[in-house]
Structure 1
Amino acid sequence: MIHSLTRHMPALAALAALLIPGTAAAHPHIFAEARLEVETSANGQIAELRHVWRFDEVFSSSVMLDFDRNGNFELDREELASISEVVTDSLKDFDYYTSLTVNGGDMDIELPEAIKVAFQDGQLLMFFAVLPKQPLPMSGTIAIGVFDPTMYAALDFMTDDDMVVTGAGAKKCASQVVRPDPDEVIAQNQGSLTEAFFNEPTGNDLSKLFATRLELDCK
């Protein structure tokens, strides 16, 4: 579906590049302000990870114009549904740009429903929730990062208040927002970064090292 659309819709090429790793970029071309809520349950488990992404006005306008099939400079329900379909199908193979680890080990996640899309105040919004694939007790060190492995899009958490723990178990764990220093990351991983880039420039997740993440320290 994406290939047929991008042949005659220029902004969809950018949308596809945002969603499908395979187009390497040295720096971001698309920007979004992000919010993450880690919802917890009364029985001390991570219930779901709730995301909200608000994209920059230039990219939002391009997508709006290309999906505005009736030319009324608005996105109606059917047009928003088309965007949602492209986004949901494309991100599923890449864990919806969500990294979830427990004590350093990766945990599988799944999307419970389609990604919702809205257009407000000239900006494209996407909001959705992902679930741990297996029950996830709040124990040990849990880290949640949000990043585009191609580095084509920058998902920025503008303040630490944009990454929060909510729900009945919110006070069970201490939490902090970690914002890695790029210079320190490069200095500490110079060898592996260089090797990974030259061996597989479009198929690695090096951006995980640079991504802002929320860490929970659960006793």
Structure 2
Amino acid sequence: MNNPFKWQLPALAVLAGLFLATPASAHPHVFAEARLEIDTSADGLVTELRNVWRFDEVFSSSVLLDFDENGDLQLDQAELAEISTMVTASLAEFDYYVSLSVDGKDAGISLPEDIKVDYQDGQLLMFFAVVPAKELRLSGKIAVGVFDPTMYAALDFINDEDMMVTGGSSGQCARNVVRPDPDEIIAQNQASLTEAFFETTQSGDLSKLLATRLELTC
């Protein structure tokens, strides 16, 4: 994929690397604490998948330096809007890193108009909600993961409570936060994890296997 943005400074390549399609990385370069809320209605439907990402201070500082056009060491509304526009356009290809499945089958989602961006206490925040592409009732096994398929960014759910269910039917399903063991995943899939696999840019299958996810059994 060609980069549609013309960066002026080397540090901007870090931001571009996170939000544009890039070859798979051996390890993450950007880190964020994440939170997910699956909101439900009283009649048993999934209404929204709400996400908040708080990026590490090193990455946040580099973004501040590159987008702080007036040099006041703050990100004003115009500067935040510029970041939002870039991120929204770039992450749409990846469904904003949100993976939704029902009974083991991928389910589609609809994307919001934009990803909102803020800068608080020295850290960059992004927050947005996606919705199921079609009506999704709390039935069967619903799984939601949030991960970067290029493995460039690590989105970390530090506590199980960072993946939760809210709304009118929050108690209808059994909730389980699954944190896969990398050694077990690699051992179970050793036959398919060949050298050719790691040379390809299509690393989504592996990152999906390794990603923390919230499972609802209804």
TM-score category, normalised to shorter length? over 0.9
Q: Which amino acid aligns with 2:202?
A: G
TM-score (norm 2): 0.95
Task: Give the Cα separation in 1 of the matches to 2:119 and 2:168.
Answer: 32
Q: Deviations over 1:94-127 (max 9, x none)?
A: 1110110000000111112310000000000000
Residues 36 and 52 in structure 1, CA contact (< 8 A), matched pair in contact too: yes
Q: Counterpart of 1:105?
A: 105
Could you tell me which runs of 5 or more consecutive residues in structure 2 were left unpaired when the two chains were aligned. Answer: none
Q: Deviations over 1:122-172 (max 9, x none)?
A: 000000001101110110000000100111110000000100000001011
* SS of 1:39 mapped into structure 2: strand
Task: Give the Cα separation in 2 of the matches to 1:4 and 1:21.
Answer: 12
Alignment of 1:28-39 (within 5 A): 28-39=28-39
Q: Counterpart of 1:158?
A: 158
Task: Give the Cα separation in 2 of the matches to 1:154 and 1:100.
Answer: 18
Task: Give the Cα separation in 1 of the matches to 2:189 and 2:195.
Answer: 10
Residues 23 and 200 in structure 2, CA contact (< 8 A), matched pair in contact too: no
CA RMSD, aligned part only?
A: 1.5
Q: Does 1:48 align with 2:48?
A: yes
Task: Give the Cα separation in 1 of the matches to 2:200 and 2:189.
Answer: 16
Q: Does 1:90 align with 2:90?
A: yes
TM-score (norm 1): 0.94
Q: Counterpart of 1:197?
A: 197
Q: Out of 16-25 and 30-39, give the one that drifted further.
A: 16-25
Q: Counterpart of 1:130?
A: 130
Residues 39 and 167 in structure 2, CA contact (< 8 A), matched pair in contact too: yes
Q: Counterpart of 1:184?
A: 184
- Number of residue pairs the alignment of both structures matches: 216
Q: Which amino acid aligns with 2:201?
A: T
* SS of 1:99 mapped into structure 2: strand
Could you tell me which runs of 5 or more consecutive residues in structure 1 were left unpaired when the two chains were aligned. Answer: none
- Sequence identity percentage: 66
Structure 1 112/15 Cα, relative in aligned 2: closer, same or farther at 3 Å?
same
Task: Give the Cα separation in 2 of the matches to 1:42 and 1:112.
Answer: 23
Task: Give the Cα separation in 1 of the matches to 2:195 and 2:43.
Answer: 44
Task: Give the Cα separation in 2 of the matches to 1:61 and 1:121.
Answer: 11
**Hey, which bits of structure 1, 4+ residues long, moved more than 4 A?**
none
Deviation at 1:4, TM superposition (A): 3.6
Deviation at 1:84, TM superposition (A): 0.2
Task: Give the Cα separation in 2 of the matches to 1:4 and 1:177.
Answer: 37
Q: Which amino acid aligns with 2:160?
A: D
Q: Counterpart of 1:5?
A: 6
Deviation at 1:193, TM superposition (A): 2.3
